[in-house]
Structure 1
Amino acid sequence: MTRDYSQLFPGTTPSPTPASRLTQLGWQGFFATQVEADALARTPPVRVTEVHRSGLVALGEDIEVEIPPRDDLTVGDWLLYDADSPKDSVRLDRKSLIQRVAAGRLKYEQLIAANVDTVFITTSANADFNIARLERYVALCLNAEVEPVILITKPDLAEDPDTFVERASEISARVPVLALNATAEDVRNKLADWAKPGRTVAFLGSSGVGKSTLTNALAGTELETRGIREDDAKGRHTTRHRQLYLTANGPAVLDTPGMRELQLTDVAAGLSELFEDIEDLATRCKFRDCAHETEPGCAVQAAIAEGALDPARLERFRKLAAEETHNRETIAEKRAREKGFAKHVKRITKDKPNRR
């Protein structure tokens, strides 16, 4: 039987049998407008829910399929599934993309997740709490046009949890901050403003801060959870790969492994939004090329002298901006070398005489 996909398009009258599973997967009008209804019947939409070295797992309205490994896909991507040639399934344009520079000496972009609506940046009210690291996550989200929300877990273990909330709230007026116990019964209610049907939410943060516990609370899963080491508050890895979970009456929920290193690239727009206070001050400096150090008429240094700007925030901004520029240029050079080498191989292959 050919499934009727007409109800998936904006402005259409729902059919008697709504596509509930696609709604659970996060199907939205943004994706529906990219394809005609008759095309969906031939190549039904599926969403990548797991990525493994051996291949991808993707779910659709009434199908579960495996797709050969592809470097251009990540968890959350939507595909038009080609049953005759799964590896050639067409990826729909992304609503958002979260990526980082992969850890290690080799600089390359690592895809984290696609088509996420809200990221819950998760940290604990203990030694894991780090303003500089939280700023990295926020810049990453803002650049991807994903809504960031900071969650501070384990407040019951802190003498004054409100202090952690206050410090996190200073990062950006655009970012809500909540303190919550990941094991409490009110998790769903506290996250209800963001955890709605048809949306996709993700938990990002270090290991041991409660991401899997929060995923269990929202998605009704039974993921393994482990505590932190008492001596240094470092977490133990429990989640081994990124996976998207469906909920009956809520959002699609992405659980991710802890990230101890988060290097940024191509997030200039996100940094501008995150540090808009500093960039606004810079427009008032006497000199357009002001380095905000000892120049006369520097509005940034004046704000520091007046106590309106924390000098540590300025230093963090400088560090992130320099890192972002370095990584972006390094990756661009790597791409150029690879492109040049590919052209060289193609030219040699073309000029090489055929041997019989």
Structure 2
Amino acid sequence: MNLQTLGWQPFFQQQLTLDDYDTSVVARVSAHHRSGYQLLTEDREVTLAVHDSLPSMTVGDWVVLDKQMQFKRCLDRSSQFSRKAAGSKLAEQKIAANIDTVFIVMSLNDDFNLSRVERYLALTNEAQVEAVIVLTKADLCEDSYALAQQVQSLDAMLMVETVNALDPSSVQALAPWCKTGKTVAFLGSSGVGKSTLVNTLLQDDTQETGGIREDDSKGRHTTTGRTLHTMPSGGVLLDTPGMRELQLANVSQGLSDTFAEIEALAAQCRFSDCSHQNEPGCAIQKALQQGQLDERRLNNYLKLQREQARNSASLAQLRSQDKQLGKMIRSVQSENRARKNK
């Protein structure tokens, strides 16, 4: 194993100093558990226990260690994926870092949902990472071609591949994105066949797979953690658990890129604060009436806009509170030191 097979690229190389080459070791975070981080170097696996002195890291991060395998610093990221933490918890959760391509996996049975694809695309576009839509379980669908065309209609430039996750020759369609030095990640809801696809790409039964539930034709959730794997093709694969509550935050540019044609229409409305409902001169309503815009797509755009605005405001409030708390703690510590010195 060498750094390139772990996904090392010139972007990270440029961040090293001459001193780093003599006194340091470069490693990549391969797994993140509650108790600590697992890291891979060129010749060993290292474990770092979670400590207050460590920055917040995630799977895919590159770090610099000293010769005793102690943490020195984390390198700047080429990309980062994060979300609002699932549930009501007010926090931002990092999902992965330094990804080159995201395989957005969706099955062609009852899981098929264009609005969910748009949600993942907003996240991927915000990170400025290439997205490939991977459609699985075509054998359970009567007209896979028609559904694939629906996905393609979201964006003429979008890469869409239909594969049989159990067939290595079919999965070979994904090979161009899995070359040495490249890191790919999987996003998708539970049970769409990600684990089966991972096993085929790795040529190993690394991930446990589950069958199909008879009541709703959906697969069972099997992956429980984010981990890095090296592929026989030379690339690096990051598998993620199914994210049932992928709430968007701070992805305004990603939404603009995902719904570019809607935002272009909005710019033509008579009023700059048009809500696109019943205002006169609304270019979006006109496009709807003329059949140039899909109502489902518009409704999802407005829904995701509201969600990301709400979550972004909540996280901004949290950051402000954290700053105020930090100032208060530093003030108390300063006063305590002043009293001790008297």
TM-score category by the smaller chain?
over 0.9
Match of 1:199 in 2: 182
Q: Which amino acid aligns with 1:348?
A: V
The answer to whether structure 1 residue 341 and structure 2 residue 325 are counterparts is: yes
1:136 deviation in Å? 0.8
The answer to whether structure 1 residue 286 and structure 2 residue 270 are counterparts is: yes
User: In 2, distance between residues paired with 1:354 and 1:38?
Assistant: 40
User: In 1, distance between residues paired with 2:154 and 2:244?
Assistant: 20
1:295 deviation in Å? 1.8
SS in 1 for 2:186: strand
Match of 2:60 in 1: 76
Alpha carbons 2:106, 2:112 under 8 Å: kept = yes
Q: TM-score, normalised by structure 2?
A: 0.93
Structure 1 stretch displaced more, 317-326 or 281-290: 281-290
User: In 1, distance between residues paired with 2:335 and 2:123?
Assistant: 45
User: In 2, distance between residues paired with 1:161 and 1:85?
Assistant: 50
Alpha carbons 1:206, 1:235 under 8 Å: kept = no
1:305 deviation in Å? 0.8
Structure 1 stretch displaced more, 167-176 or 117-126: 167-176
User: In 2, distance between residues paired with 1:23 and 1:282?
Assistant: 45
User: In 2, distance between residues paired with 1:188 and 1:312?
Assistant: 31
The answer to whether structure 1 residue 25 and structure 2 residue 9 are counterparts is: no
Match of 1:270 in 2: 254
SS in 1 for 2:177: coil
User: In 2, distance between residues paired with 1:257 and 1:283?
Assistant: 38
* Structure 1 residues 161-180: aligned runs within 5 Å: 161-180=144-163
User: In 1, distance between residues paired with 2:106 and 2:230?
Assistant: 24
Q: TM-score, normalised by structure 1?
A: 0.90
Match of 1:221 in 2: 204
Structure 1 stretch displaced more, 140-149 or 174-183: 174-183
User: In 2, distance between residues paired with 1:174 and 1:32?
Assistant: 31
Match of 1:8 in 2: none
User: In 1, distance between residues paired with 2:94 and 2:156?
Assistant: 28
1:38 deviation in Å? 4.2
* Structure 1 residues 1-356: aligned runs within 5 Å: 21-69=2-50, 70=54, 72-84=56-68, 86=70, 88-222=71-205, 223-352=207-336, 353-354=339-340
SS in 1 for 2:32: strand
Structure 1 stretch displaced more, 138-147 or 232-241: 232-241
In 2 relative to 1, CA 27–187 (structure 1 residues): closer, same or farther, beyond 3 Å?
farther
1:346 deviation in Å? 2.5
Match of 1:14 in 2: none
Alpha carbons 1:240, 1:257 under 8 Å: kept = yes
In 2 relative to 1, CA 39–53 (structure 1 residues): closer, same or farther, beyond 3 Å?
same
SS in 1 for 2:168: coil
Q: Which amino acid aligns with 1:190?
A: A
Uncovered stretches (5+) of structure 1, i.e. residues with no partner: 1-19
Q: Which amino acid aligns with 2:56?
A: D
1:104 deviation in Å? 1.2
Alpha carbons 1:142, 1:273 under 8 Å: kept = yes
User: In 2, distance between residues paired with 1:346 and 1:143?
Assistant: 35
1:250 deviation in Å? 2.6
Structure 1 stretch displaced more, 292-301 or 119-128: 292-301
User: In 1, distance between residues paired with 2:162 and 2:61?
Assistant: 31
Instruction: String of CA shifts for 1:156-201, please: whole Å, max 9, x gaps.
Output: 0111112221221122233211111100121442102211111001
Q: How many residues align?
A: 336
User: In 1, distance between residues paired with 2:84 and 2:130?
Assistant: 21
Alpha carbons 1:123, 1:209 under 8 Å: kept = yes
Alpha carbons 2:25, 2:67 under 8 Å: kept = no
1:321 deviation in Å? 0.7
User: In 2, distance between residues paired with 1:85 and 1:158?
Assistant: 51
Q: Which amino acid aligns with 2:37?
A: L
Alpha carbons 2:203, 2:232 under 8 Å: kept = no
Uncovered stretches (5+) of structure 2, i.e. residues with no partner: none
Instruction: String of CA shifts for 1:307-350, please: whole Å, max 9, x gaps.
Output: 00012211111110111011011011111112212222322233
Structure 1 stretch displaced more, 172-181 or 152-161: 172-181
Percent of pairs identical after alignment?
A: 46
Structure 1 stretch displaced more, 228-237 or 246-255: 228-237
